[in-house]
Amino acid sequence: MSTYKAPLGDIRFALYDVLGAEALFARLGYADASRDLLDAVLDEAARFTETVLAPLNSVGDEIGCRFDRASGDVATPPGFREAYTQFMEGGWTGLTAAPEYGGQGLPHTMGVPLNEMINAANLAWGNFPLLSHGAVEALKQHGEAWQQQAFLKPLVDGRWTGTMCLTEPHCGTDLGLMKTRAEANADGSYAITGTKIFITAGEHDLTDNIVHLVLAKLPDAPPGAKGISLFVTPKFKVARDGVMGERNALRCGSIEHKMGIKGSVTCVMNFDGAEGYLVGEPHKGLLAMFTMMNTARLGVGLQGIGLSERAYQNALRYSLDRLQTRSLSGAKFPEKPADPIIVHPDVRRMLLTVKSLVEGSRLLALHAGMLIDVAHHAEDPAEREQADVLVSFLTPIAKACQTEWCIENTYHAMQCFGGHGYIHDYGMEQLARDARITTIYEGTTGIQALDLMGRKTASTKAAGLKLFLAQIEAFAAQHEGDATLAEFIVPLRQKAAEWASLTQGILQRAAGDAEEIGAASTDYTFYSGYVTLAYWWARSVAAADASGHDEAFKQAKRETARFYFARILPRTLSHAAAIESGAEPLMAMSAERFSA
């Protein structure tokens, strides 16, 4: 059975030493976000996730959710409901929500380590409150005043949870093909009719109500994605005064039997004239839904970090304890019958790969959280706008890379266990199965890549990239004369310049052939991810050297950074070569010849 211990030391290092969270929060007006309070939040989050959620991780996998076909009800695994009650009573559901809706008003950034710990401890359980934050943001930004009053407080305090209902059996990511319809009622509500699939936490027994945000088309909708509207459609009807009424005309039709994350319910939801209310303007539903989707995508990226961290902890412990053969250069523990397997280069390769990707990804995720705080609270409108552009650019990188690396990380960790890795009792195969799903939901890796290359780069003339490259150059210039950082600064600058050149080349080729965007997108995403982490590793070394941490900590950061630059960053070479090969090798073969 795998275990979990929250990595508070590295989380605090990332927050305080690298990112300077205390100073930023003070500048943004978070008067109550003192170091003492933030540390207390981290400590209590660690206690809750380690002692309440982590022991339920295998329970969720082994028992899963149970569906009652007669009633359409879903029962969550044993212990999940009690854990959710503790979570709600502890105020965690409203940690970063606005005080006017019952939240605690802490910086959005503080939700990042909380969610990482939840995902590491029990990813399946974490999926139940996952989408509530996005539902709150969508209603706060796009809902009418009465909708905010009726729905936000129970969502923030956790009495209700939220979902987003997007796709349908026939349309996948092409939402313009959706068939769900919304017909106006005389009282200003709408009757929602259609079937939605892959709805995370669409039905469960944890809360009194479930608030579905549903995409549908009005009778006069223009064709395609431009004709989509958004509707808030609760499981139990909610009047304009916030009073919960009778059961709505919607029902779970079935739950999916998945390869992993079995303690989380994934539903088919049937709406049969269900009462809903328009959120935002007619035919502008995707704009409102993207508020929720972007939050969810960063959240799924955190799932990749959490699973990777748990996998690393267990693989490291096993590698330190497991005795097998001798070191190639001679016995390191001659008093023992064999050396622990951590002496072997290939085991170290796997462990260092996971460690370097996890700790670098943690900084990327926390940085994204801080950008959201800046975008919402900075006094300078230009600073707010730049933060919004940059976090939009980094979101598909974070979601795609952190989940794809999670597959690599959990498999490396499982490999460290040898034959014990695929045995259920050790818990590693569950992490590998759970990890595989994270690359698919909330937009596959390919969808993230197209978003990055198309919407976030080509359509903006690389605005987000330019901001991030400027950040890299500012750091490099600051430390230009520091000989102790030269081994990182020089290659980082080279990669940043190459990143800009590759981007320009893709955009130039795409002007003559639109297929170049899709052909380059996935390799471009990974290239971007590896250079992004190189920046954070260089900053980690600089921050560690300037910190009050002991020498062992500082040296561990430097040695991990050296491994990353020597063994991981060169992966950019193959991605660059693939990008520069262009679209022709992908598009030349006709569909018929695939089966030849």
Q: At what angle do helices 463-478 and 515-546 cross, to 10 degrees?
A: 30
The neighbour count for residue 203, using CB atoms within 10 Å, is 27
Sign of CA dihedral 551, 556, 561, 563: positive
Cβ burial, residue 310 (10 Å; 0-12/13-18/19+): buried
d(CA 150, CA 236): 13
Q: C-alpha dihedral over 370, 371, 374, 377, to 10 degrees?
A: -80
Backbone angles phi, psi at 432, to 5 degrees: -65, -40
Distance of CA 225 to the CA centre of its chain: 25
Structure-token match 């309070």, residue found: 37
Coil, strand or helix at 71: coil
Nearest Cα residue to 169 out of 179, 159, 158: 179
Distance of CA 399 to the CA centre of its chain: 5
Nearest Cα residue to 215 out of 237, 236, 198, 203: 198
DSSP annotation string for 579-596: HHT-SHHHHSS-GGGGG-
Structure tokens at 308: 């990777």
183 is catalytic: no
Pairing outcome for strands 181-184 and 160-165 = unpaired
Annotated catalytic residue within 408, 442, 498, 516? 442
Q: Which helix (H) or strand (E) holds 300?
A: helix 285-321
Cβ atoms of 517 and 570 closer than 8 Å? no
In one-letter notation, the amino acid at residue 195 is T
Structure tokens at 216: 């549908």
With a CB cutoff of 8 Å and minimum separation 6, the contacts of 20 are none
With a CB cutoff of 8 Å and minimum separation 6, the contacts of 145 are none
Q: C-alpha dihedral over 258, 259, 260, 266, to 10 degrees?
A: -10
Nearest Cα residue to 399 out of 298, 308, 529, 468: 298
With a CB cutoff of 8 Å and minimum separation 6, the contacts of 409 are 307, 308, 311, 312, 353, 354, 357, 358, 435
Distance of CA 461 to the CA centre of its chain: 26
Nearest Cα residue to 228 out of 294, 279, 297: 279
d(CA 543, CA 363): 12
Cβ atoms of 131 and 93 closer than 8 Å? no
d(CA 41, CA 47): 10
Residues assigned a catalytic role? 442
